[in-house]
Structure 1
Amino acid sequence: MNETVTYESHQDVATIMIRRGNKLNALNNDVVEGLRDAWMRFEASDDRAAVLTSEGDRAFCVGADLSDPPAEMWEAVPGVGVSVTKPVVAAVFGHCVGGGYILSQHSDLAVVADNTVFMYPEARVGFTGGLCSGAAVRVPHKIAMEFLLLGEPLTAQRAYEVGMVNKVVPLGTQLEVATQMAQTIAQSAPLVVSTIKQFADRTVPLSPSEEAAHARRQLVQVSRSSDGQEGKAAFLEKRQPSFQGI
C-alpha cells in the first residue's frame, strides 16, 4: 500500500482512505494505484464490507489531478478496475467532483456530510471518460442528464431527495455512520449478502465505458502477469518461454 491510500481492518470491516488532503484528495497515478491495490486486498481478505473515505473535511475528492493526471483512472473504481463482490459504503464530504463522484456512484451505499456538493463538470472542460453515464440507471434519468449535461452543483440534500445517496448527516459523523452500516453488513449472513450484491450488479446495465473498462482490465491483467513478463524476457533472450499460467 502506498502512502496516498491506507487500508485498516477492524471487526471484518475494511476502511480504505485516500490521504491526499493537501491536494483535495485529487486522483493521480499514486492514488489510483493505491485504490486498485486496496480493492484487490479487500476482495482477497476476510473483511465482509468496506468503507471508502478521504482525509480532511474540505473535499472527498475533486476528481483527476489535472497537473498530474492518472493514466488509467478507471482502475481506482470498485467493480470496474477490480472485481469487488462485497459491499462498499462511501463516506463523502465537501467537494465531490468528477472522478470523486464516480467513486461514490460505484459504491453500494453512500453516507454524505451536510456540506457535500456533487459536481460533474466534464462537459464544461471538454473531456470525459464516460463512466459518468452510469448515473442514468442509478438515479432518475432526467436528474442524471441535468447533473451530467449542465455541470451544475448538486447539494447533499438534493442528492438525497433524488436517490443518489442514502443519508445526509452532520459533517464529522459521516465516517461513523458509514462504518455502522458496514458493521451491520459484516454481521449479516455472508452468502446472502454476496448473492444480493452479485445479483444486483448483474441487474444494473453496464455503460459502454464500463464494458470497455472490464475488457481493458482483463487485457491489463494479462500484460502484467508473470507469463506476460516471461514472454517478453524470452523473446529478448531468444529462448523458449516457460509459461506458468499466472
Structure 2
Amino acid sequence: MVSVRYESAEGIATVTIDRPDRMNALDSAVVDGLETSWKRFADSDDRVAILHASGDRAFSVGADIKDPPGELWRGVPSIGVALDKPVIAAVHGWCIGGAYVIVQMCDLVVASETTIFKYPEAQVGFTGGLIASAVARIPHKFAMEFMLLGQDVSAERAREMGMVNRVVPPGSELDVANELAHVLVDSAPLVVETLKGFSQETLNKSPAEAGALARKLLLSVRDSKDGAEGRVAFREKRPPVFKGH
C-alpha cells in the first residue's frame, strides 16, 4: 500500500500522506515516500508543492510507535532533499511531534480551524532535536513555550505565534493552499527561487538540522559512483579512476 501519493496538475505538485487508518502516523514507509516525493518535485517542472494528509482526524500524530522512522530528517523538505521551490502545508486536525517538524520547514502553512499543534517530547522523554529549528522561524519565547510545555496549541493561537499564515474553515485548507499555489505558479520562478534561497541562507540552523544536512552530504559521497570506485580500486590494489559523480 502506498503511504504517500504524488499528483501533478497545472504546475502544482500535491503530496499526500495517506495512512488515515493510523492517523497518518510517520513510519519508515511514510518518510521514504516523502523523500521520494521531494526528489520528484525538485526534478520536475512543477513550481510549487502542497503537502497535506488524508482523513479527517489528523494531519499526522507524529512518529508511529509501532514502527518509528529511524531518520525522520530524510522526509523533511529542504533538509532531506534540497528544494529551491516553495512548499505549502495544508494542515487539519492533530499535528503532533515530528509532523510539526515537517510542517515548520514548509514555506507557507494553511491550517484548518480544527488544527491542534502539539510537541510532547519533553513530557515523553525523547526528541530528535529538529524542533529547535522553530527558534529561527517564530519568536524565541513562543518557540520555547511550544517545545517545552507540550500543551495543545489551537490554530488561532498558532497564527498568533507565527506558526501558520492562514486559519480557514474546516475542509477548506487544501482549496486555500491551492489558491496560494496558483499565485506562486503565476509568479516569476527565478525571483521566487532566489528569495527562498536567500531566506534559507539567512535563517540560523539548529545543531540537529545542521547535523542532518551534513549527514546527507556525507551519505551522497559514500553512495556515489566515485565512492564505489574508490572501494573497488582499494581492494584491487590499483589507482582509482574518479569522475566526479
Structure 2 length normalisation: TM-score?
0.94
Q: Distance in 2 between matches of 1:23 and 1:239?
A: 53
Q: 1:3 to 1:237 in 2, by over 3 A?
A: farther
Q: Distance in 1 between matches of 2:122 and 2:54?
A: 28
CA offset at residue 46 of structure 1? 0.8
Q: 1:95 to 1:237 in 2, by over 3 A?
A: farther
Unaligned runs of 5+ in 1: none
Q: 1:34 to 1:231 in 2, by over 3 A?
A: farther
Aligned residue for 1:111?
A: 110
Structure 1 residues 123-148: Cα deviation after superposition (integer angstroms, max 9, x where no partner): 11111111111111211211111111
Q: 1:229 to 1:63 in 2, by over 3 A?
A: farther
Q: Secondary structure at the match of 2:170?
A: coil
> Quick one: percent identity of the two aligned structures?
53
CA offset at residue 185 of structure 1? 0.4
Unaligned runs of 5+ in 2: none
Aligned residue for 1:197?
A: 196
Alignment of 1:62-211 (within 5 A): 62-211=61-210
Q: Secondary structure at the match of 1:15?
A: strand
Q: 1:64 to 1:231 in 2, by over 3 A?
A: farther
Structure 1 length normalisation: TM-score?
0.94
Structure 1 residues 46-74: Cα deviation after superposition (integer angstroms, max 9, x where no partner): 11100001111111111111210111110
Aligned residue for 2:10?
A: 11
Residues 1:29 and 2:28 aligned together: yes
CA offset at residue 235 of structure 1? 5.8
Q: Secondary structure at the match of 1:60?
A: strand
- C-alpha RMSD over aligned residues: 1.7
Number of aligned residue pairs: 245
Q: Distance in 2 between matches of 1:56 and 1:111?
A: 17
Q: Distance in 1 between matches of 2:158 and 2:169?
A: 15
